[in-house]
Structures are given as structure tokens and as C-alpha cells.
Amino acid sequence: MKLHSKALLAAAGVIALSWSPAYALEPGAAAQTKAGVLIGASAGVPPPGIYMINQVFTYQANLAGPGTAGATGKTGVHADVDVQAFLFVPGWTFLGGTYDAVIAQPFVDTSVGNPVNAQFAGVHNTYIVPVELSWKLGTSGFQFKTGVGIYTPDGTQTGATKLGNQGAPYWTFQPEAILSYLANGWNLSAAVYAELNTQNTTTNYTSGDVLHADFTATKTIGKWTLGPVAYYVGQVSNDNCSSITCQTTYGVSSATSAILTNNRYNVWAVGGLVAYDFGPAALSVWATQEVSAKASNAAAAAALGADPSTVTQGMTVFATLSYRLWGPEEAQPVKTSMYHK
């Protein structure tokens, strides 16, 4: 069955989940979701079936922020990621919405330059979306989707804090909401989602909440889809590190831990997307440049006389290949022969 590229790309964007560099989280921790992963996605759902999504991206950046003041050179941060995922659309409806579910497994290789000089490669926490629901809002062309994703603590974990590689010893819950206008070849979508972390079971440290917003404005003409895209990501709550945790794990006092966990950062990026419909599969590529990246810790600046906050700022190139593995119309009835005497 030949599928329209918009249906495949809508499926692809929803499960493009993986790693992004750490900002003001627990030392050694990383944000679970790459900023911009819902670029190109929409609130639509493809026809019933099982879909395969193959995604790769590279993120090339440098550290920025007040904590880099006085540095003699730039500190590079690089990530190369491969994600293998499945989207399940059984054709069910609930409360008038169309149901789907997702499972994705990212594999990550990252490096940080001088003076850190470290490289880590391993399996990131598995991402599972047990339920997403999508509604068509009348005949206006608008659609709305919501759901909750879960990162399970099953990635590669090393070191005393279990944060020495790509896995994390805590759960992350990711609620999402997507509003789209899908008519006349347009995909005008805004996707808002958050990362809500549980406590690190090894250190009892809890990283702050992270808010994402991804924006897509593309037009499909024939087999091609083109348009501008953008994203925002920021930490919207403080980390939480008890005096016992910070003293025993990180060697700082309760007063110092309160200062160092009062973190905030905000990053904005702009770019463009191009996609092509091959018929049975669709290929999408988007690229963004982070044009603003700010980090701050007012409490630390007041107490220490200097703000140690840092944030990464760089460029992402993200490619997605999506295709349907199976559809209900492909299930052939079993032929039986009748024997008559």
C-alpha cells in the first residue's frame, strides 16, 4: 500500500526521542530528550498498522554561558545518535480520539573536549509511550494530540553515581500536547512537552524539570515538503540535592548545594526542514542552529561572586526514514479446501 508522506512523517516525529547534552542537571546527568525531536511531527495519526522509524542525528556545539568566562579556548560538545523505534496504530478509538503507542531505543556516542576530554558510548534509556490520543477538531483542519511517554532506567550505567555513561538510574515522565493545522498540504504545528524526573536511586539527587516547545510550518507540494522550523528548551525548576546527598556524594555543604542547584537555562533554535515522499517510505531532514543560549544561577552568583552556569550552543542535523511494516489489509485470509465424497 502506498502511503502519503505526511502520514509517515507524522508517525516519525512523534517517536524521535533520544539524548541531549546536560545543562544544569545533576553532575553527569543529561536531559533525556533531544531538543527539537517533535519538529516535523503533527497531531495526526497514520492509517492502522505497524510502522518502523529509523533516525540519526548529530549535534555539534560548544559550551557557553557565564561559567566559561575567562576560558582560554572553546570546549566542544558532540553527540551522534541512532534511534530505532516502532509506532503501533491498531485502529482503536477512545473518548472519540484515535489511539497509538510507541517504543523507541536510542544508542548514543558523545564527547566533551578540553579541559574535560571525555567520550562515552552506550545505550540510552528506553522510551515507551503506552498511550497517545488524537482528535480531529471538526472540519476546520485542526487536530489535537496528547499522551505521556516514559523513559525506563535500563540504559548503560557506570560509575559511583551510575551517571558515567548514557543511561540514568531514574524514571522520566514526559507529558505532551500537540496542536496542528493540517489542510491543503500545510503542517502548522506547535508541540509542548516536559521532562519530569524521579529521584536518582543511587545518589537521591533529583534533577529539575525541563520544558520543550517545537514549531513546524511546512508545505507539501507534490512529493516534496519544505518549511521553517524552530524550538525552545529550558529548565523551569531547581534541582533538589539534600545535605546528606551532597555531602556524601559531591563533598559540598547543604548551603553550597542549595546555591548550586538553583539553576536555569533557556535555548532557542531556528532552521528548516525538507522531506521527500518515495511512496512506501518517507525521508525527512531538518537542521537547526541555536541562536540564543543563556544559563544563570543568581543564588550562586550572589554567594560565590561568580556564576558557574554553562549551557551548550550549537547545530543539529536530524534525519528520519519512516515506513510501514504491516497493515491490516495485508493480512490475507487462510484458504481452506473442501473435500467431498
Q: What are the start-end ranges of the E strands in 4-48?
A: none
Is 277 domain-assigned? yes
Is 135 domain-assigned? yes
- C-beta separation of 63 from 312 below 8 A: yes
Say which CATH number the domain at 35 has. 2.40.160.40
Q: How far is CA 180 from CA 57, 102, 238, 269, in A?
A: 25, 20, 32, 20
Is 336 domain-assigned? no
pLDDT of residue 337: 56
- High-pLDDT (> 70) share of the chain, %: 89
6 SS3 class: helix
Is 337 domain-assigned? no
pLDDT of residue 338: 56
Is 23 domain-assigned? yes
Give the total number of structural domains in the chain.
Answer: 1
Is 335 domain-assigned? no
Nine-digit cell string for 78:
558532540
Nine-digit cell string for 132:
497517545
Q: Indicate if the pLDDT at residue 325 is higher than 60.
A: yes
Is 340 domain-assigned? no
Q: Indicate if the pLDDT at residue 35 is higher than 90.
A: yes
**What is the span of the domain harbouring residue 238?**
5-330
- C-beta separation of 255 from 227 below 8 A: no
Q: Indicate if the pLDDT at residue 293 is higher than 60.
A: yes
pLDDT of residue 7: 47
**Taking the model in full, what pTM does it have?**
0.91
Place of cell 525521508: 283
> Residues 56-67: what's their mean pLDDT?
94
Burial (CB < 10 A; 0-12, 13-18, 19+), residue 192, is middle
Q: How far is CA 288 from CA 108, 109, 292, 301, in A?
A: 20, 20, 12, 31
Nine-digit cell string for 292:
540564543
Q: Indicate if the pLDDT at residue 17 is higher than 70.
A: no
pLDDT of residue 331: 60
